[in-house]
């Protein structure tokens, strides 16, 4: 019987890690597989939710014969931690269990870890190797790596447009462009990201809930850029039903689940101040909000596109035509990363490499 390739075990660990999407933030998604001396999988686990046991803890605990750990190899998608956080250090656990070899997909860029876990394992005599399926690991944890390395949330820009390139009807008249499948997928995306952001005009005209009502999972933090606090108190985003941040240039006291943050806006006009979006992103980083789904209108979307501050763009293109209305952003987008049918709509995804 052929010996399984190590990449198969790491691929399994990555697949396990992905099960934590939306639940582990702001921690990364991590999977772990324990392989015995006869190359069979003895145990596996993943980080299921923030504050809960890490992947290594779950995987090691799932091994029926703990004595075999001293002859096993452990595949883990991210460097084992070496510090006390919500849970004890995983590097210490691996050492205590006598694991002789650890294979790691990605080093951890978090300054609290950043090589300390690998150093601790090696100092204890554990054989350590890194970089197996590293690109796949970075893709899986792209939100975490962006947050740690760029000091801002991972930004996903999303909009629906007509076949002739309009976001809405004349005078921002709301038009249902995307089909039910695209709407359901959008609600799923809202559970994937830590927050969802819109501008004042979108919040005023659409009165959105900005919630994941049609898909099970964690609710995102709602973010609204509302310079003059123009939203009526009856609007859904002010109902206190989920955490909400309102960025404004005015001052107002918050209420439960509703915080007002005073930041510099442009003195006149609708375009955000050049200092506004960096200030918003810096504040979100300080709040440990790892990723944001931007469902704003053309003003917010264009500002982010102009500054080239985005990571993904997801566009639903409807077969419907409007003939006139509010134009969708263009900004010379080309070379889409992927394209697929979602019900009657085409989904285009762009990646900012």
Cα–Cα distance, 300 to 157 (Å, whole number): 10
Cα–Cα distance, 147 to 288 (Å, whole number): 9
186: nearest Cα among 160, 223, 218, 153: 160
45: nearest Cα among 22, 69, 73, 20: 20
Complete edge-to-edge strand list for the sheet that includes strand 154-161: 258-262, 244-248, 221-225, 195-199, 291-294, 154-161, 312-317, 345-351, 338-342
In this structure, the chain runs to a length of: 353
Whether residue 181 is preceded by a cis peptide bond, meaning omega within 30 degrees of 0, is no
Mark whether 56 is an active-site residue: yes
The answer to whether 348 and 317 are in contact (CB under 8 A) is yes
Catalytic residue among 44, 56, 161, 193: 56
Please identify every residue annotated as catalytic: 56
């Amino acid at each position: 019987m052929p010996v399984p390739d190590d990449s198969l075990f790491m691929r399994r660990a990555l697949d396990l890690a992905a099960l934590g999407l939306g639940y582990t933030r702001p921690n990364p998604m991590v999977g772990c597989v324990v392989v015995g001396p006869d190359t069979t999988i003895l145990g596996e686990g993943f980080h299921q939710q923030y504050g809960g046991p890490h992947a290594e803890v779950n995987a090691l605990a799932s091994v029926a014969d703990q004595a075999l750990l001293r002859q096993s190899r452990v595949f883990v998608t991210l460097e084992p931690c070496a510090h006390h956080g919500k849970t004890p250090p995983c590097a210490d656990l691996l050492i205590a269990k006598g694991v002789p070899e650890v294979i790691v997909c990605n080093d951890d860029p978090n300054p609290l870890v950043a090589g300390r876990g690998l150093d601790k394992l090696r100092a204890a005599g554990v054989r350590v190797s890194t970089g197996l399926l590293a690109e796949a690991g970075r893709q899986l944890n792209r939100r975490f790596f962006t947050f740690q390395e760029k000091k801002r949330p991972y930004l996903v820009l999303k909009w629906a447009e007509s076949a002739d390139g309009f976001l809405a009807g004349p005078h921002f008249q709301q038009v249902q462009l995307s089909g039910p499948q695209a709407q359901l997928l959008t609600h799923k995306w809202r559970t994937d990201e830590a927050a969802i952001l819109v501008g004042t005009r979108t919040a005023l005209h659409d009165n959105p809930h900005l919630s994941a009502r049609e898909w099970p999972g964690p609710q995102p933090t709602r973010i609204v850029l509302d310079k003059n606090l123009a939203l009526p108190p009856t609007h859904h985003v002010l109902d206190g039903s989920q955490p909400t941040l309102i960025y404004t240039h005015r001052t107002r006291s918050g209420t439960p689940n509703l915080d007002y943050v005073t930041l510099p806006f442009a003195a006149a006009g609708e375009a955000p101040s050049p200092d506004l979006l960096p200030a918003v992103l810096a504040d979100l980083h300080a709040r440990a909000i790892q990723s944001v789904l931007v469902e704003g209108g053309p003003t917010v979307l264009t500002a982010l596109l102009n500054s080239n501050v985005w990571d993904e763009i997801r566009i639903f293109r409807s077969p419907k035509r409007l003939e006139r209305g509010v134009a969708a952003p263009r900004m010379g987008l080309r070379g889409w990363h992927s394209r697929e049918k979602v019900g009657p709509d085409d989904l285009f995804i762009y990646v900012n490499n």
